[in-house]
Amino acid sequence: MKILGIDPGTTRLGYGILTVQGSKIIVQDYGIIGYQAGTPPERLKAIYNGLTKLIKKHQPDRIGIEQLFFYKNQKTAMRVSQAHGVAMLTASLAGVPVAEFTPAQVKQAVSGYGSADKQQVQRAIKMVLGLKEIPKPDDAADALAVALTCSLGNK
């Protein structure tokens, strides 16, 4: 099974792709789709185009997306919500099933502690996926954590 994990953000969207073969989990790809923060139509189009290319290239069986949980800044929340919505739409148009996860669910699944900090989650990702270093940028590491959560059958 191939899983695409997505971490939507205001200026970039992290992605991570894992292949699960029995108990073996293989990292296929990870990175970011960058876009302009201040131009909503172009930004949303960049998300759609970037995700469409990833889906066509990797043909995931399932997509996991981190849910917007809480932001103090309403403007930030709106931008992340837009990115989340475009990711959901892109997955739906591609016919790929989507699972959504809260940050606490991802932290719990990856590190065993729902209140883990970012560094704890990143170290857990490195260890569990057998990587030589913590994936950079943070958005890509977070997306791998979402993909890993999705691979574990968490809903």
Distance of CA 139 to the CA centre of its chain: 8
Neighbours of 152 (CB within 10 A): 13
Q: Which of 42, 66, 138, 142 is catalytic?
A: 66
Is 138 part of the annotated catalytic residue set? no
12 Cβ contact partners less than 8 Å away, ≥ 6 residues apart: 32, 33, 34, 35, 137, 139
Is 61 part of the annotated catalytic residue set? no
Phi-psi region for residue 59, left (φ > 0), alpha (ψ -120 to 50) or beta?
left
Instruction: Provide the residue type at 53 as one letter.
Output: K
Is 66 part of the annotated catalytic residue set? yes
Q: Which residues are catalytic?
A: 7, 66, 139
